[in-house]
Amino acid sequence: MRTTTLQKLAELQKNPSKIRNICILAHVDHGKTTLADALVASNGIISQRLAGKLRYLDSREDEQIRGITMKSSAIALDYKHGHIDFSSEVSTAVRLCDGAVILVDVVEGICPQTHAVLRQAWLENIKPVLILNKMDRLITELKMTPFEANIHLQHILEQVNAITGELFTSHVLKESSHKSADKKDPETVGEDDVYHWSTGLEDVDDSHIYFSPDQGNVIFASAIDGWGFRIHHFADLYEAKLGFKVEILRKTLWGDFYLDSKTKRIKKGAQDKGKKPLFVQFILDNLWAVYEAVLIKRDTDMIDKIVKSLKLKIQTRDSRQDARVHLQAITSQWLPLSNAVLAMVVECLPSPLEVTEERVEKLLCSNARKFDSLPEQTQQLKDDFLACSSAPEAPVIVYVSKMFSIDWKHLPQNKQRPLTSEEMTRRREIARQRHAERMLVKSQNERIEDTTNDGVNRDDDAAGIQIIQKPKDVEHQPDEQVFIAFARVFSGTVKRGASLYVLGPKHDPALVLEQLEEHDGNVEAVVNNQQHVQQYTVGDLYLFMGKELEAMDEVPAGNILGLSGLENLVLKSATLSSTVACPAFTDMYMEAAPIVRVALEPKNPGNMKQLVEGLRLLNQADPCVCVFIQGTGEHIIMCAGEVHLQKCLDDLKDRYARVDVNVSSPVVPFRETIIPPPKTDMVNEMLEGQTTTVKAQHVMSDEDGSEDSAQQDFIELQTTDRSSTIGVKAIPLPEEVTQLLEKNAAFIKMLELYSSARRKHANLQIGFRISDATLKALREFKANLQLAFSKSGQFWEGAIDQIWSFGPRRDGPNLLLNRIPNYDRPSLWTCLNDESKAVLERFWDFDNSIVSGFQMATQSGPLCEEPMRGVCFILEKWDSDKELYQKERNLSDGQDQALSEETPFLRETRTNSGMFVDDLVETSATWNDSAVVSEGDTGSCSLREASLTKDCVDSEGEHTSNIEGAVDSLTSNMSRLAANDLKVSHEIQPTSVHSITGQLMFCTKEACRKAFQAESQRLMIAMYSSVIQATVEVLGKLYAVLGKRNGRVLQADMKEGSSLFNVRAVLPVIESFGFAEEVRKKTSGLASPQLKFSHWEVIDVDPFWVPTTEEEYLHFGDKADSENQARQYMNAVRRRKGLKVDEKLVEFAEKQRTLSKNK
C-alpha cells in the first residue's frame, strides 16, 4: 500500500529543493531492476518480500522472458535502462535527470557499458554516485576472505575513478583550448609577456569528481539480499562504542587505517604492518559472520545471537524457510538498501535548483556556436533555468525526450474504479432517460406504421435511428494505442489547457525575434508563417509511477511529467516553450547507431495500409529505430542490434500494426575500397618472377564500356557529344587519412556549408554564423589532415589544397583531388581565411557537375552498389570544347533576354542579388541529380544548392521560394525557346546546358567507376567488437563459436582473484545473427556476449580471384574448390538488389559431387 498520497506528492512537487531526478545506469545484468524494486518497495507500491523477484518495471513480456530491460520507466525519483542495444533509452533518461546512480557488479567489474554510461553522464553534466553491487558473490561464489575482498573492492574503485579521471582530463584540456582561442594573437604578445605551457590541470580541483566511500558517494550493497550501506552508517554506529568522533571515523573507516589496541588510537599503515584495516575489522568481518552463520553453517545459536545483538525482529515463518529467505530477512532489516540509496541521493545528488551554468549553456547552445552569440532575450532564459521558478510570470520551458505508447484503457481517466453514491445516482437517472427515449421512439414508429402505409422501408428508419444514436455510444477501443510525451519542466508551471509553442530542431530564435520587430510584436502572425514553430494546447498531464500513470492538474518546474496530445506534433523529441525566444535543445548523444536493417511486407497485401501506419507509430515510439522507404518501394527498419530488432518486430505485430508481416533476412551494409597491388599470391608466394599461366582480370564493365584506357596511367572517357574528356585515376587513401575523415564528418559537412555561404550567393543567406572555437577546430582539422598526408609519403604533398570534394554525401571518407594542369581551382579551405574576394569567377563552367558525378560514383560502387570508403580519385584531365560551351552560353543569354521581358520579378531579383541566370540554371540542373546522392541527408547539400530547394530551406524560406519560382519559370521558357529556335547540326548536335550538365555528371561517374575497377578491388565488412566474460571450462566452446562465424579473438586475460577470462573479440556483423543465443547454449549460460559496432575491415580476398600462377593451381586446383567469402557476400548483395550475378548453376559437371547429385 502506498505510503504517500497523490495530494502529498503534488505539494512536494512545488518545492524543487526536495526533488531529485535520478537515473539508474549500469551494464546489463548488474542489478538495475533489482535496485529499482527495492526503491519501489520502500514506497509501499510492492511488497518488500517481492523486491528483486517481481521485476516490477519490466512490464513487457519479452523483458520478463529475456531477463533484461528494454525500455525506460519512471517512478518519482527513479528512471532506469538496460541492454547495449537500447542505449538510446539511456540518452533520453540522462537528458531529463540531474543525477545518476552507477551500478557495478563487484565480480564482473568494469564492463563496456559501464564506460558508456559514465561517458554519457559526463557529457550531459549530471553528477554520478556509485553502488558496488552483488557483494554476496564475493562470499558465496569466489569464497574470498574479508581481507581479500577489501583489496578487490579497492581495485574496482580505482578502475572506476580512472575512467572518471580520463573524462575530467579531456574536459579540462578542451576548455583550455577554447580559452586560448579567445586570447589575443601570439604575434601581438609583448616582450615582457611569458607563454605558459600549463595545461590547466594543476589549477583545477578534481577531488569532488572521484568516488570515495569517505565522501559518502559509494554504497556497498547486495540488491538481491536487500542490504546496502555507506561508511557513514557504521561511523554513526561506532561513535559511542569506540569513543571517536563521527568525522574521524568517516575518514578512516575506508583506507589504510587500523586501530592500535594498546594506545586505542587510529593509525595509518595497516598494510605495511600486517594489521587489519578498520573496514575489514569493523564492517566486513561482521558481514562475513552473518553469511557464514545463516547461509553456510546454519548455526541456529549463532543466528539467535546475531539477531539479538542487532535488535532485529525476525518472523518465525522467515526463520523456518529457506536459508536465503532467512538471510534476506536479517540483512534487509539490519542494513536496508532503500534507506542507504535514498540517503545518498538526497545528500550527494543535486536538486533542480542546483543546475550548473555549464549544463544550461550546453542545452541551449551547441558546441559549434558561442552562447554569447544568441539573442539577448534567449540569453536571459539562462536565469530562469537556474532559478527553476514556478511563478506565473516565469516562462514555461519543457523538453520532451521521447514519445511512448500506452493502451487507452490504462490511462487514469479510463480505468475502472468504485463509484460514489452520487455517481451511481447520476448513472441511474441517465439510464432512465435513455429507456424513456427508446420507448418514445418505439411508440412513434408503431403509430406511424398503423396510420400510414407509404411503402417506406421501416428497416431503413430503424437503421437511420441507429445511425443517429450511434455517436452517443462511440468509445475508444480498450487496446488502442495512445502516445504520451515523456518530458521535464525546466522553468514555469505547465497547466492543462495552456498554450505553448512546439519548437522544431531548426528553430532559430534570432530569426523569429527579427520578424517580431517587423510585425510590431504580433506573435500569432509570425508563428503562422513559421515552418519550425507550431502552437500546442496542453492536454492531460500525468505523473509517472512505473507502469502506472496518475492524472495531474498542473506540474511545476523541476518535475518529470507526461503530456498528451503531442502525437501529431512531435516525432521523437522536441522543445516546448511559452516564448519563441527559447531555442530548441541540442541533440542527444547516442552511444549506439542503428546498423542492422530488414525489409518488411504484410503477409496479406491488403494490410499494407495498417503496416505503414504501424511503422509510423513505431518510428515515433522508439528513439533509436529508423524507418524509411527504399527506391525499390521496400519498407525498411534500421535497428541497433539483433535484440533491438526483435523487440521492434514484436511491437509492430502486437501493438502498432497488428498484422502478420514477412521479414527479410537482415540487410547489413558493406563498403567498397581498393588496395595497393598485392605482392604475394594466395599461397603467400612473391608475385615477381613467377610464371603466370592464365591472365584473368575481371572488370565488370557496361555494354558500352571500353578497356582500351586500362593501359594508361588514368582512365579517360568522353561525353556522349564528345564535347568533354575526363581523365581520372583511383588510388587508395592512407588508413590514417580515412579514419580522420570518418571521425570528423561533422566538421567536413560544416566546412562545405561554411565554404558555400562565404563564396556562393552569400547575400541570399541570412547568415552562417560560426563560433571562434568551431573555426579553430576546423583549422585544427586541416592541420591534422595535412600532417596525416605528410606522413603518408611524397606523393601526397600538396594534396590538402587540391581537395575538390568529399564523398559520398559531401562528408564521406573519399576524396576528389584536382590535378588538372591548367585549372587553378580555389581551395575548400579558403573560407577559413579572412578573404572576402569574389572567388566565383575562378571556377570553370560546370564545376559542380564534376562534383555531382563524383558523389554518385562514391555512393554506389561497381562491386555491389555499396558506398565506397578510403578511395581517392585524382582528376588528371578535363578537356572541353570551349566553342560549344560559349555557343550554349550565348544561347542561354538570348533566352535570358527573352525571359526577362516576360518575368519582371526575375529581372528585379537578379539585379538586387547580383546573380547570373546561367548560374541559376547550372545549379538547378545539377541539384536535380545530386539530390539523389544526398537522399535522406539534406544537411549535406551546399548552401548555394540549399537556396534552390525546399528540402534544405531553413527559416529563410520566403525569399528562397521566390527564386525557386523564377528558376522553374526560366527552365520551362528555355525548353519552349529551344524547341522553336534551335537549328540542329548533323555533325555535332547542339545540346542545352541541362544536357551538358547531365553528360558531364554521367561521364565523371563512369570514369570514377572504371578507375576503381582498374585497381585491386576489395569488399569491406562491418565488424562488431565484444568483451565476453567466460570461465576456463567454457573457453574452448566460446572460441569454437567465434571461429565458426569468422570471428577473431584479440585478447584473453584472466581476472585477478577469479577463474573468469575477459575475452575481447571481433565478429562480422553479417555473421552475428543468432550469435548470442548460440554462445549461451554452448556455454550453458556461463558466457553472454554484447555486441557493439567497432570498425570497417577489408576482406583480404579479391572477389573475382581465380587461380593464375602455377603454385595456386597446385594448391587450389583449376576449379578453385575453396570458398571465396568476399564473392559470396558480393553475390548475396547483388542478388538482393536485383543486379546481375556472374555465376553458373553447374560450372564443372564432371566433379564427383555434381555427378552424385544428378543421379
3-state DSSP of 783-847: HHHHHHHHHCCHHHCCHHHCEEEEECCCCCCEEEEECCCCCCCCCHHHHHCCCCCCHHHHCCCCH
Q: Is the dihedral of CA 956, 958, 963, 965 positive or negative?
A: positive
How does pLDDT run across 895-915, given as a tens digit for each residue?
A: 444 434 443 333 333 333 333
Long-range contacts for 548-551 (Cβ within 8 Å, ≥24 apart)? Answer: 548/410, 549/406, 549/410, 549/411, 549/412, 549/484, 550/6, 550/9, 550/412, 551/412, 551/413
Q: Percent of the chain, pLDDT > 90?
A: 20
- Which helix (H) or strand (E) element contains residue 146? helix 146-182
CA 1119/CA 219 separation, integer angstroms: 66
Contact 1007, 1115 (CB under 8 A): no
- Judged on CB neighbours under 10 Å (0-12, 13-18, 19+), 620 is buried
CA 193/CA 153 separation, integer angstroms: 49
- Global pTM value: 0.69
Specify the pLDDT at position 1119: 56
Specify the pLDDT at position 911: 32
How does pLDDT run across 123-151, given as a tens digit for each residue?
A: 888 899 999 999 999 999 888 999 999 99
Contact 1023, 1067 (CB under 8 A): yes
Reduced to 3 states (helix: H, G, I; strand: E, B; else coil), residue 716 is strand
pLDDT band at 633 (very low <50, low <70, confident <90, very high): confident
How does pLDDT run across 299-335, given as a tens digit for each residue?
A: 889 999 999 998 888 888 888 888 888 998 999 899 9
Say if residue 1126's pLDDT is above 50.
yes
Q: Position of cell 502552437?
A: 535
Say if residue 186's pLDDT is above 60.
no
Specify the pLDDT at position 452: 44
Reduced to 3 states (helix: H, G, I; strand: E, B; else coil), residue 483 is strand
Residues in a beta bridge with 550:
543
Mean pLDDT value of segment 600-622: 89
Domain at 20-176+209-350, CATH from 2.40.50.140, 3.40.228.10, 3.40.50.300, 3.40.1440.10: 3.40.50.300
CA 963/CA 514 separation, integer angstroms: 22
For the ranges 370-374, 667-671, 992-996, the maximum mean pLDDT occurs at 667-671
* Cell numbers standing for residue 461: 428508419
pLDDT band at 807 (very low <50, low <70, confident <90, very high): confident
Q: Position of cell 555533325?
A: 987
Domain at 596-667, CATH from 3.30.1280.10, 3.30.1370.140, 3.30.10.20, 3.30.70.870: 3.30.70.870
Ranges for all domains in the chain classified under CATH 3.30.230.10: 708-1013
Mean pLDDT value of segment 537-551: 83
CA 653/CA 408 separation, integer angstroms: 18
CA 401/CA 83 separation, integer angstroms: 19
Write down the CATH number for the domain with range 708-1013.
3.30.230.10
Spell out the SS3 assignment of 272-320.
Answer: HHCCCCHHHHHHHHHHHHHHHHHHHCCCHHHHHHHHHHCCCCCCHHHHC
Specify the pLDDT at position 1153: 60
- Report CA Rg, the chain: 35
Average pLDDT of the chain, as a whole number = 75
- Which helix (H) or strand (E) element contains residue 177? helix 146-182
CA 544/CA 40 separation, integer angstroms: 12
For 932-948, give one letter per residue: b (16+ CB within 10 A) or e. Answer: ebbeeeebbbbbbbbbb
Ranges for all domains in the chain classified under CATH 3.30.70.870: 596-667
Low-confidence winner among 272-276, 557-561, 917-921 (lowest mean pLDDT): 917-921
Q: Is the dihedral of CA 783, 788, 791, 795 positive or negative?
A: negative
Say if residue 1003's pLDDT is above 80.
yes
Residues in a beta bridge with 1109:
692
pLDDT band at 1067 (very low <50, low <70, confident <90, very high): very high
- Which helix (H) or strand (E) element contains residue 1021? strand 1016-1031
CA 855/CA 861 separation, integer angstroms: 11
CA 45 to chain CA centroid, Å, is 34
Which amino acid makes up residue 788? A
Contact 754, 830 (CB under 8 A): no
* Cell numbers standing for residue 661: 508481416
Say if residue 582's pLDDT is above 50.
yes
CA 588/CA 120 separation, integer angstroms: 10
How does pLDDT run across 947-985, given as a tens digit for each residue?
A: 323 333 333 333 333 333 333 333 334 343 333 433 333
Domain at 353-411+478-577, CATH from 2.30.110.10, 2.40.50.140, 2.40.30.10, 3.40.50.11900: 2.40.30.10
Ranges for all domains in the chain classified under CATH 3.40.50.300: 20-176+209-350
Spell out the SS3 assignment of 203-247.
Answer: HCCCCCCCCCHHHCCEEEEEHHHCEEECHHHHHHHHHHHHCCCHH
* Cell numbers standing for residue 579: 516564448
Say if residue 1155's pLDDT is above 80.
no
* Per-residue DSSP letter, 938: G
How does pLDDT run across 1027-1061, given as a tens digit for each residue?
A: 888 888 888 999 999 999 989 999 888 877 667 78
